[in-house]
Amino acid sequence: MTQGITRRSLLQSLAGGLATGSLTAGLAAESLAGALPAPSGSASRNVPMERLRRHIDPDRVLLWENTRKEIRELLDSGLLKAAILPAGSIEQHNEHIALVEDTAHATFYAKQIALELYPRVIVAPPSFCGYAPYWMSRKGSITLRRKTFQDYIFDVLHSLKTNGIHTLLVLNGHGGNQQPLKEMEETWRSKLGVTMEVDSVWAPTPPDFVKTVLESEKRLSHAEEYETSIALAAHPHRVRRVSMKEYDDAKLNYESGFSPEVEHFLRIDGRTFIDGRINEEGENATDRARQEQSLLATAAKGEKLVARVVEYYVEKLQKMIAATESGQPWPPA
């Protein structure tokens, strides 16, 4: 991470900034001092360092919260180098986390990473919906068709490149998106002629690291201790505590009794359509186990996971920007 900013101080500063709509001037100056070369020529006229060093509204790193003048000046100055495109999903997260979680935490990570590297990195509008046909038996879930999702991501990347941003990171927050994204990665990179990578919010937290943070012996990949801890750290207002009695009293069934409309979606993906038939065997037990694991989650655990991810992507984006500037291929050979 940027010199002088510890993991905890970063999280505490951001938590305060997100709550009040601002970050401290100290964090802004410290981050810029370690990460930003002094501007010269037109850069100093268009985006004076004095302006950059003062109080930073965290929304400044969000593309859609800027004016065309502000983006034009950052691009003309050469200060803006890269963009992060969060990819998420609107889908069920058991009984206790808001449907927007995958989009929310991908955008949360992107924003923190961009703040660390301000003003060199901007956050593009996220893909709110993703590829999730296998969740359509759970109410509230929404899915895009695979190609619709891929086309959306490409169109945003193409727009960013057309604006003059040649280092692009697709930061995926939803498991179902990963294969559709990765299968197009090389095609998009070649077609756009940019430094580009698709990566996930969970990649920087391998099992050996996760074991040092969580109590659960086995990760269940969705809405369990891991994801609930991140939600508690990043946006606790999106988490509702639900007791196991409440869960059991709901008498949920996700293994049978699907409507023809739901069956249509369950037949699309290999997670739910196996050997020529819909197979959701064991889903009720897994769903309950996820709910039970979520009760172990804490914000403190989430902070450790978040810090690891932010640190990883700050370093990766710096390397990607350097590759673009030096004309080196990405990924490195």
pLDDT digits (tens, 9 = 90+) for 230-260: 999 999 999 998 999 999 999 999 999 999 9
Contact predicate 141/91, CB 8 Å = yes
> 180: which residues sit within 8 A by CB, 6+ positions away?
131, 146, 149, 150
Provide, for the chain, the percentages of residues in helix, strand and coil under a 3-state DSSP scheme, each rounded to the nearest 5.
55, 10, 35
Q: Is residue 314 part of a domain?
A: yes
Over residues 13-28, the mean pLDDT reads: 37
Q: 85 by DSSP, 3-state: which?
A: strand
The pLDDT, as a whole number, for residue 220 is 83
Calculate the CA 330 to chain-centre distance: 21
Q: Name the strand (E) or helix (H) holding 28.
A: helix 25-35
Q: Is residue 14 part of a domain?
A: no
> 147: which residues sit within 8 A by CB, 6+ positions away?
none
Q: Is residue 49 part of a domain?
A: no
The pLDDT, as a whole number, for residue 108 is 98
Contact predicate 92/135, CB 8 Å = yes
Q: 149 by DSSP, 3-state: which?
A: helix
Type of residue found at 76: D
The pLDDT, as a whole number, for residue 49 is 37
Number of domains making up the chain: 1
- Residue 240, token pair as written in the block: 């509702």
Q: Is residue 13 part of a domain?
A: no
Residue (of 166, 211, 170, 213) closest to 192 by Cα position: 166
- Residue 256, token pair as written in the block: 């049978």
Using pLDDT thresholds of 50, 70 and 90, give the confidence band for residue 218: confident
Using pLDDT thresholds of 50, 70 and 90, give the confidence band for residue 16: very low
- What is the spatial distance between Cα 155 and Cα 219, in angstroms, rounded to a whole number? 34
Type of residue found at 333: A
For 153-206, what is each residue's pLDDT tens digit?
999 999 999 999 999 999 999 999 999 999 999 999 999 999 999 999 999 999
- Is residue 107 scored above 70 in pLDDT? yes
In the chain, alpha helices (H): 7-20, 25-35, 42-46, 49-53, 68-77, 101-116, 146-163, 175-192, 207-211, 225-234, 244-249, 260-266, 283-294, 299-326
For 55-71, what is each residue's pLDDT tens digit?
678 999 999 999 999 99
- What is the spatial distance between Cα 325 and Cα 320, in angstroms, rounded to a whole number? 9
Domain interval for residue 74? 57-326
The string of DSSP letters for 192-228 reads HTSEEEEEETTTTS-HHHHHTT---SS--SSSSHHHH
Q: CATH code at 67?
A: 3.40.50.10310
Q: Is residue 175 part of a domain?
A: yes
- What is the spatial distance between Cα 235 and Cα 127, in angstroms, rounded to a whole number? 19
The pLDDT, as a whole number, for residue 43 is 39
Count the Cβ atoms, other than its own, within 10 Å of residue 72.
15
Q: Is residue 48 part of a domain?
A: no
Residue (of 134, 142, 175) closest to 267 by Cα position: 134
Over residues 114-134, the mean pLDDT reads: 97
Q: Is residue 24 part of a domain?
A: no
Sign of CA dihedral 305, 308, 314, 317: negative
Determine the straight-line distance between the first and last CA of the chain, rounded to whole angstroms: 25
- Residue 71, token pair as written in the block: 């983006």
**For all residues of the chain together, what is the average pLDDT?**
87
**Stated pTM of the model:** 0.84
Q: Is residue 105 part of a domain?
A: yes
What percent of the chain has pLDDT above 90?
81
